A and B are shown apart, each in its own frame.
Chain A
Amino acid sequence: MNNIEIDRLTPLAESIAKARRKKRYAAERRFRLYGIISISVAVAALCILLLSMLIKGLPAFYQTQLTLTVELNKEDFSDNGKIDATAIEEANYAVFLRRALRTAVPSAQSRLDKRSLYRLLSNGAAFNLQQRVMADPSLVGKTLTLDAIASDDLDQYIKGHIGSGTGGRLSKKQGIWIEKLQKEGVIKSSLSTDFFVAGDSREPELAGIWGALAGSLLTMFITLLLSFPLGVAAAMYLEEFAKKNRWTDLIEVNINNLAAVPSIVFGLLGLAVFLSFFGLPRSAPLVGGIVLALMTLPTVIIASRAALGSVPPSIREAAFGMGASPMQVVLHHVFPLAFPGILTGTIIGAARALGETAPLLMIGMVAFIVDIPSSITDPATVLPVQIFLWADSPEKAFVERTAAATLILLAFLISMNLAAVILRKRFERRW
C-alpha cells in the first residue's frame, strides 16, 4: 500500500492546489459563458429577423399619392346632356385624372411623353374617383382637389428602391418630372389603411391583406369549431372512461404519432378525400378548416389528456363519494379544473395551424383571389399562402408587402400565444 501522504502545508502541494483551483474557476466561467453565448446567438438571430422584417415592411404602410386638381366637366359625362346614374357609372374617370396630371406637368407634350407621364398614376385612382362621384353625384361639374394613388413604380422611386435614367426602371424624363412635382409639393407619402382593408391585386400599390386575413379567420373558425369539441371529448373518454387494454394503448400510440406527421400529408388527405371523393368546393375555408382541424386534433387530444390527468384523484374520489355519476364527476369537477390546460393546448395548436401553408396549397387555397370571402364556401386564401404568393411576384413593391404581411402574421401568432398565457393564468384555480 502506498503510504504517501501529501502534507497540505508544503509549498509544492499548495501551488498544485492553487493551479487546480484556477483551472476549476476558469472551467466554471467557460461553462457559463457557453450558455450566455448560446442565448445571445438565439436572441440575436431573432432580433435580426424581426428588425429586417420591420425595416423592409414598415414602408408598406405608407402610400404615395399625387395631389391633383380635377375638373369634372359635365360634357365628359354624357353626349346628350342627360347625366343619370348610368352615365356617372360609365364615365371615363381616367381622362379627368390624366388631364389634371398634364396640367401639373405641361412639359409632357408628345404622345410617348404623355403615356410615360400617365404611368405615374395607379389604375386604382380612377376607380376611387368613380366610387367617390357615384356616392356623391353633386360633384359632377365641380372642380375638386384630391389625392390620387401613385403607381407602384412612382411609389418605389419615392421610397428609394428603384432609380431613374440608364439602369433604372424609370426614364430620365420621368425622373425630371418627379423632381418638379416633388418641389411643388404634389407628391406626398402618408400612412394609409388601404393595406389592411383591400383585397389582393395584380397592382402592388392596390394590394392588401384583408382578403387573406378574412380567409384565415374563416378557416381558423372552422378549425377550432371542429378540433376543440372532438379533441376534448376524445381526451375525456380516453382519460376517464376507457379501460386500459391493448386497444387503448394502440390508439394512444397512434395519436402521438399523428401529432408528428408532416402537415402536407394532411393536405394530400384533404385533396383525395374531401375534394375528390366528397366533392366539397375547392379553395374554400371549409375544406381548409377541416384539413387543419385534422392536423390540430392530435395536439389538442394530447394537451387535454395531460390537463385531465393532472387533476388530483382526491377530487374525483370526493365527487364519487358524494354520489355523483361518472359524467357528473367529469363535467362538474375534472373538466373545470383541467380547463386552463386544455385552453392553452388548443390555442397553441390553433396558432400552429394559422401559420400552416403546405396542406392548404394542396387543397387549392393558392389561387389568386381578389374578392373578400364572405362565407366558408367562397374561394379564399390564407395569410401564409398570401405571403408565399407575393414573395413570388416580380414587382419590386411586393417585397415590402411580403415583409409587412409577415409582420401582421407574426403579430397574430404572438397575440394568440399571449392570449393562451393570460387566459391560463386567469382561469387557474388552486386545489
Chain B
Amino acid sequence: MNREAANISEPNLLKNQIAGTRAQNPDAREEPSAQSAEPNIKMSTKGLKVFYGDKQALFDIALDMEEKSVTALIGPSGCGKSTFLRCLNRMNDTIDGCAIDGNVTIDGQDIYDSVLDVVELRARIGMVFQKPNPFPKSIYDNVAYGPRIHGLAHNQKDLNSIVRGSLERAGLLKEVEDRLDEPGTGLSGGQQQRLCIARAIAVSPEVILMDEPCSALDPIATAHIEELIDELRTNFTIVIVTHNMQQAARVSQKTAFFHLGKLVETNTTEEIFTSPRDERTQGYITGRYG
C-alpha cells in the first residue's frame, strides 16, 4: 500500500509537482484546453455493476476512456479498480461466480454482446498484470505467441519483424537481441514486465490495460516503464490502475477516483490533483486515508 502521499498536506505541492513533471517532459501532451477537436471516446461504461456471488463490488460505474491517451484509475485498496479494469477485456469471465450487469462498449459496440467472440476481443484489448508473468518459453516465443495464435504473420520473416518491432517499442530489444532463445523467466523484474508489454503490443491491440504494472518493480525499472507508457500513448489507448498517485500524476491525462466500489470523481489529471471537487478525493490525495 502506497503511503507516499502521506507527507503532502498541501494540494499546491502536488500542483507544483505536476508542473515540474510537465516541465521535465517536453513531449507531454498539450493542455486539454488547447485541444481544438472533441476527443474520441474509445471505450465507455454505463451503469456497470459487478457481483462476486452475493457481494456487490462495483456500483453503477460510468466512465469514458479517450482514445490515444492514458486514463489512470486511483483509489484505496479494495475499491474495485482492478475489478473494473478486468471488466474491460472480459477477464472477469474466467472467475467463477462473477456476475456483470450494465454496459461496456468499445467504439460503440457492446463487448458483452453474445455474438462477439471473446478471443478476438482480447486480441484488441491487451493486458499487463501486476506481477510480471512471462510464459516459461523463450523471449522470442513469448512475444511471438500472440501473432502466432491470431495468425498475424504470414511467414517467418514477418514474425521476426513483428517480434523485433515489439521488443524495440518496449525498449527491450537492445538488451536481449543476442539472447532471444533464452527463457523469458530469466530476465530481471523490470525486463520481464517490459517483455510482457512487448508481448501485449505484438498483436497491435487498440487498447492496453495495465493493472499496477510497476508495483513489483524498483524505481529505475519503474521510470523505464513510465517512459514507455508515454511513448505508447501516441498509438494506443491506455488505462492504468495505480496505487501510486505521483505515478498517476506523471503518466496520465485523465484520472478517475474510485472509492468503495463507486466512481467518485473523474477529471483531467491536473484538475483532480489540484482542485478535487469531492471531499473523499481530497482526503485520499492529501493522504488522510489510504
B-contacting residues of A (Cβ < 8 Å)?
A: 243-244, 314-325, 328, 332-333, 337, 429-431
Interchain CB contact under 8 A, B135 and A318: yes
The answer to whether the Cβ of B89 comes within 8 Å of any Cβ in the partner chain is yes
A318 and B134 alpha carbons, distance in the complex (Å): 8
**Residues of chain B in range 99-140 having any CB-CB distance to chain A below 8 Å:** 119-123, 126-127, 129, 131, 133-136
A210 and B264 alpha carbons, distance in the complex (Å): 80
The answer to whether the Cβ of B196 comes within 8 Å of any Cβ in the partner chain is yes
Given contacts A243-B96, A318-B196, contact A324 B149 (CB under 8 A): yes
A244 and B95 alpha carbons, distance in the complex (Å): 12
For A431, give its contact among B120, B185, B199 (CB under 8 Å). B185
From residue A214, how far is it (CB to closest CB) to chain B in Å? 41
From residue A286, how far is it (CB to closest CB) to chain B in Å? 40
**Residues of chain B in range 41-95 having any CB-CB distance to chain A below 8 Å:** 89, 91, 94
From residue A334, how far is it (CB to closest CB) to chain B in Å? 11
For A317, give its contact among B96, B126, B129 (CB under 8 Å). B129
For A333, give its contact among B119, B127, B135 (CB under 8 Å). B135
Interchain CB contact under 8 A, A337 and B119: no
> What are the interface flags for B146-161 relative to A under an 8 Å C-beta threshold, 1 for contact and 0 otherwise?
1001100000000000
List residues of chain A with CB within 8 A of the CB of B89. 321
List residues of chain B with CB within 8 A of the CB of A317. 91, 94, 129, 133
**Residues of chain B in range 196-228 having any CB-CB distance to chain A below 8 Å:** 196, 199-200, 203
List residues of chain A with CB within 8 A of the CB of B185. 430-431
A321 and B94 alpha carbons, distance in the complex (Å): 11
A333 and B131 alpha carbons, distance in the complex (Å): 18
Interchain CB contact under 8 A, B94 and A320: yes
A332 and B136 alpha carbons, distance in the complex (Å): 11
Given contacts A314-B131, A328-B149, A430-B185, contact A321 B136 (CB under 8 A): no
The answer to whether the Cβ of B145 comes within 8 Å of any Cβ in the partner chain is yes
List residues of chain B with CB within 8 A of the CB of A244. 96
From residue B195, how far is it (CB to closest CB) to chain A in Å? 11
Interchain CB contact under 8 A, B133 and A314: yes
List residues of chain A with CB within 8 A of the CB of B135. 315, 318-319, 333
For A323, give its contact among B94, B119, B136 (CB under 8 Å). B119
A337 and B199 alpha carbons, distance in the complex (Å): 20
List residues of chain B with CB within 8 A of the CB of A321. 89, 91, 122, 126-127, 129, 200
From residue B93, how far is it (CB to closest CB) to chain A in Å? 9
* Tally of chain B residues near chain A (CB < 8 A): 26
A332 and B145 alpha carbons, distance in the complex (Å): 10
List residues of chain A with CB within 8 A of the CB of B121. 323
From residue A322, how far is it (CB to closest CB) to chain B in Å? 5
From residue B85, how far is it (CB to closest CB) to chain A in Å? 11
For B136, give its contact among A243, A316, A328, A430 (CB under 8 Å). A430
From residue B143, how far is it (CB to closest CB) to chain A in Å? 10
Interchain CB contact under 8 A, A322 and B146: yes
For B146, give its contact among A323, A325, A337, A429 (CB under 8 Å). A323
A328 and B148 alpha carbons, distance in the complex (Å): 12
A382 and B141 alpha carbons, distance in the complex (Å): 47
For B129, give its contact among A314, A332, A431 (CB under 8 Å). A314
A–B pairs, 26, beta carbons within 8 Å: A314-B129, A314-B131, A314-B133, A315-B135, A315-B136, A316-B94, A317-B94, A317-B129, A318-B129, A318-B133, A318-B135, A320-B94, A321-B122, A322-B123, A322-B146, A322-B200, A322-B203, A323-B120, A323-B121, A323-B203, A328-B149, A332-B145, A429-B136, A430-B185, A431-B136, A431-B185
From residue B184, how far is it (CB to closest CB) to chain A in Å? 10
Interchain CB contact under 8 A, A325 and B119: yes
List residues of chain A with CB within 8 A of the CB of B136. 315, 337, 429-431
A244 and B53 alpha carbons, distance in the complex (Å): 14
5 tightest CB-CB pairs across the interface, nearest first? Answer: A323-B122, A323-B123, A321-B127, A314-B133, A318-B133
A352 and B63 alpha carbons, distance in the complex (Å): 60
From residue A333, how far is it (CB to closest CB) to chain B in Å? 6
A430 and B121 alpha carbons, distance in the complex (Å): 30
From residue B69, how far is it (CB to closest CB) to chain A in Å? 21
Interchain CB contact under 8 A, B133 and A315: yes
* Smallest Cβ-Cβ distance to B89: which chain A residue: A321
List residues of chain B with CB within 8 A of the CB of A332. 145, 149
* Smallest Cβ-Cβ distance to A325: which chain B residue: B119
List residues of chain B with CB within 8 A of the CB of A322. 122-123, 126, 145-146, 149, 199-200, 203
List residues of chain B with CB within 8 A of the CB of A324. 119, 145, 149
List residues of chain A with CB within 8 A of the CB of B131. 314
A320 and B93 alpha carbons, distance in the complex (Å): 10
From residue B194, how far is it (CB to closest CB) to chain A in Å? 14
The residue in B123, B136, B200 that gathers the most chain A C-beta atoms within 10 A of its C-beta is B136
* Smallest Cβ-Cβ distance to A321: which chain B residue: B127
A320 and B135 alpha carbons, distance in the complex (Å): 12
A430 and B186 alpha carbons, distance in the complex (Å): 10
The residue in A320, A323, A328 that gathers the most chain B C-beta atoms within 10 A of its C-beta is A323
A244 and B97 alpha carbons, distance in the complex (Å): 10
Q: Beyond A315-B135, A317-B129, list 18 extra A-B contacts (CB 8 Å).
A: A316-B94, A317-B94, A317-B133, A318-B135, A318-B196, A320-B94, A321-B91, A321-B127, A322-B122, A322-B123, A322-B149, A322-B199, A322-B203, A323-B121, A323-B122, A332-B145, A429-B136, A431-B185
Interchain CB contact under 8 A, A320 and B133: no
From residue B133, how far is it (CB to closest CB) to chain A in Å? 4
A429 and B137 alpha carbons, distance in the complex (Å): 9
List residues of chain B with CB within 8 A of the CB of A320. 91, 94, 122
* Smallest Cβ-Cβ distance to B134: which chain A residue: A318
